[in-house]
C-alpha cells in the first residue's frame, strides 16, 4: 500500500515493522532446528541425511512449547529489567525539574502541547552529543540526554532532539526496537549455545559418523552451520530495517511538534560524528539520535547518514542546511594550537627570530677541514 503524508507513512511503517518483528521471532525456531540437526547427528551418527532432516523437524515440533516458553521468559525478564541494565551500562540518572529546569520545561511544554504523557528524564555524564529513549509502556518510557548535549545545544536545538525522541515513543518505535534487541539477544544466545555444543561435544566425532552414514552426517552439519550463520545475519539486517526508516520519521515528527526544521537540522549538524557513548553496547547505540559507529560502507549502518537526513528535512520540511558546524570547544582547541609560540631551545630559534645557537660569522678566512653540524673540523 502506498503511503502519502507523514501519518500514513507512520502507519505503513508500523505494519512493515510488525512483519519484520514476526520474522525475527521465527529465526529463533531456525536456530532451534539447526541445534536439533546437530544433536541428531551426535546421537545417530550412522543415519541417512533424510532421517536427520525429518528427525530434527520432529524435535522442533516436540519441543515447541519449551523453546517458545524460553524465548517468552527472556522477553518478560527484559521487559521489567532492560531499563536498569541500560542505566547500569550508561551510568544515567533520573533528574527532576529542580535539578534540570531547562530540560524539564522544554519536554513538559512539548508533551502538554500534544496531550502526551510525559516520560521520565535521565542525564548521562558524557561529553558526547547524543540522546536516546527507552521503555515498553507509559510507566517505563524515559528520555536520556548527555551532559555534552545540554551544554552545546541551544534551547531550540535541544527541544528538537527531545521532539525526535518523543516521536519515537509516540510511534511505538522504542517498544519495537527494545523487543527487537531482546529477540536478537535470544538468537545470539541460542546460536552460541549450538556452536559450543558442536565444537565441544561433536566436532571431533562427526567425520567418523559421516563415513558410516555415507556423507549424510556431514551434510546435515553443514546445513546446520549454514542456518546458524543465516539466522544471525538476518537478525542483524532486520534490526537495521527496523531502525533506518524510523529516524527519518522521527526527524519529521520533531519538526511537526516544534514547527522548526532549522533547529532539527542544526542539532543534527552539531551531533554529527560526536555521539559515541563510551562503554555503550551496540544495542544502546541503535537507540540513539545518531550512531557514529559505521558498518560495511553504509550497508550495515544502523542510522541513515546525517547528510541524508538533513537533505530530507531541506526537501520536505523547507529547512536550511548550514553545513558542518564547528563547535566552540573545537574552535578554541584549534586556536590554541595555532597561537602556541615556538619554544626556544638548543634546537630551535630564539624569541627574537635569530638563531641563538649559530656562531657569529668570522671575519678571517675559513679554517681548513671538513664542515659539520657542530662546526668546522680542523686537520
Per residue in 273-312, pLDDT (tens digit) is 899 998 888 778 888 999 887 655 555 677 888 999 999 9
Q: Is residue 14 part of a domain?
A: yes
Using alpha carbons only, how large is the chain's radius of gyration in Å? 30
369 falls within a domain: no
Average pLDDT, whole number, for the chain?
Answer: 78
Number of domain units in the chain: 1
| 97-106 per-position pLDDT tens digit | 999 999 999 9
pLDDT confidence of residue 111: 94
What one-character-per-residue DSSP string does 147-191 give?
A: HHHHHHS-HHHHHHHHHHHHHHHHTTHHHHHHHHHHHHHHHHHHH
**Length of the chain counted residue by residue:** 379
The answer to whether residue 156 scores a pLDDT higher than 90 is yes
Q: Which residue has the cell 540526554?
A: 145
- Domain membership of residue 312 (yes or no) is yes
Distance CA 12, CA 328 (A): 41
Q: Is residue 362 part of a domain?
A: no
What's the pLDDT tens digit per position in 316-350?
A: 999 999 999 888 766 555 555 555 555 544 444 44
Question: Which of 218, 232, 216 has the alpha carbon at shortest distance from 30?
Answer: 232
- Residue corresponding to grid cell 529546569: 101
What are the CA-CA distances from residue 123 to residues 67, 110, 129, 141, 286 (Å)? 38, 18, 12, 14, 18
User: What is residue 197's predicted lDDT score, i.e. its pLDDT?
Assistant: 65
pLDDT at 181: 76
With respect to residue 345, please indicate whether it lies within any of the assigned structural domains. no
Position 333 in a domain: no
The residue ranking higher by pLDDT, 45 or 261, is: 261
Helix (H, G, I), strand (E, B) or coil at 94: strand
Top mean pLDDT of 8-17, 230-239, 246-255 is at: 246-255
Query: Own/partner pairs for 219-223, CB < 8 Å, 24+ apart?
Result: 219/49, 220/37, 220/38, 220/40, 220/41, 220/49, 220/52, 220/53, 220/56, 221/37, 221/38, 221/41, 223/34, 223/37
> Does residue 359 lie in a domain region?
no
The helix/strand/coil state of 123 is strand
What residues form DSSP beta bridges with 144? Answer: 122, 132
pLDDT at 307: 94
Range of the domain at 127: 6-317
Cα–Cα–Cα angle for 2, 305, 260, rounded to 5 degrees: 75
Distance (Å, rounded) from C-alpha 29 to C-alpha 44?
Answer: 22
Task: Answer yes or no: 165 catalytic.
Answer: yes
Residue 93 located in a structural domain: yes
Residue with cell 501519518: 7
Under DSSP, the state recorded for 214 is: T
Q: Over pLDDT 70: what percentage of the chain?
A: 72
Among candidate residues 157, 159, 165, 286, the one labeled active-site is 165
pTM, to two decimals: 0.72
Amino acid at each position: 500500500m502506498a503511503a502519502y503524508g507523514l501519518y500514513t507513512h507512520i502507519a505503513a511503517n508500523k505494519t512493515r515493522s510488525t512483519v519484520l518483528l514476526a520474522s525475527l521471532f521465527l529465526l529463533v525456531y531456525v536456530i532451534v532446528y539447526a541445534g536439533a540437526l546437530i544433536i541428531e547427528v551426535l546421537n545417530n551418527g550412522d543415519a541417512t541425511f533424510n532421517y536427520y532432516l525429518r528427525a530434527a523437524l520432529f524435535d522442533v515440533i516436540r519441543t515447541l512449547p519449551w523453546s517458545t516458553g524460553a524465548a517468552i521468559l527472556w522477553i518478560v525478564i527484559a521487559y521489567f529489567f532492560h531499563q536498569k541494565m541500560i542505566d547500569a551500562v550508561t551510568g544515567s540518572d533520573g533528574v527532576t525539574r529542580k535539578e534540570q529546569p531547562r530540560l524539564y520545561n522544554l519536554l513538559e511544554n512539548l508533551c502538554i502541547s500534544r496531550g502526551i504523557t510525559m516520560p521520565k528524564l535521565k542525564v548521562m555524564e558524557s561529553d558526547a552529543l547524543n540522546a536516546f529513549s527507552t521503555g515498553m509502556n507509559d510507566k517505563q518510557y524515559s528520555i536520556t540526554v548527555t551532559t555534552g548535549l545540554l551544554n552545546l545545544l541551544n534551547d531550540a536545538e535541544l527541544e528538537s532532539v527531545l521532539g525526535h525522541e518523543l516521536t519515537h515513543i509516540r510511534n511505538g518505535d522504542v517498544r519495537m526496537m527494545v523487543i527487537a534487541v531482546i529477540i536478537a539477544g535470544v538468537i545470539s544466545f541460542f546460536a552460541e549455545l549450538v556452536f559450543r555444543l558442536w565444537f565441544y561435544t561433536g566436532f571431533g566425532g562427526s567425520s567418523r559418523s559421516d563415513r558410516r552414514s555415507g556423507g549424510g552426517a556431514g551434510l546435515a552439519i553443514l546445513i546446520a552451520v549454514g542456518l546458524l550463520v543465516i539466522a544471525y545475519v538476518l537478525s542483524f539486517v532486520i534490526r537495521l530495517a527496523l531502525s533506518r526508516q524510523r529516524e527519518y520519521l522521527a526527524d519529521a515528527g520533531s519538526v511537526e511538534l516544534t514547527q522548526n526544521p532549522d533547529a532539527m537540522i542544526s542539532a543534527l549538524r552539531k551531533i554529527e560524528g560526536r555521539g559515541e557513548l563510551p562503554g555503550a553496547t551496540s544495542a544502546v547505540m541503535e537507540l540513539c539520535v545518531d550512531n557514529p559507529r559505521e558498518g560495511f560502507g553504509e550497508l550495515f549502518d544502523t542510522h541513515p547518514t546525517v547528510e541524508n537526513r538533513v537533505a530530507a528535512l531541506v526537501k520536505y520540511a523547507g529547512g536550511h542546511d548550514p553545513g558542518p558546524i564547528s563547535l566552540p570547544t573545537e574552535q578554541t582547541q584549534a586556536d590554541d594550537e595555532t597561537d602556541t609560540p615556538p619554544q626556544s631551545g638548543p634546537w630551535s630559534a630564539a624569541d627574537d627570530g635569530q638563531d641563538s645557537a649559530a656562531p657569529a660569522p668570522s671575519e678571517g678566512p675559513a679554517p681548513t677541514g671538513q664542515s659539520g653540524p657542530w662546526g668546522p673540523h680542523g686537520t
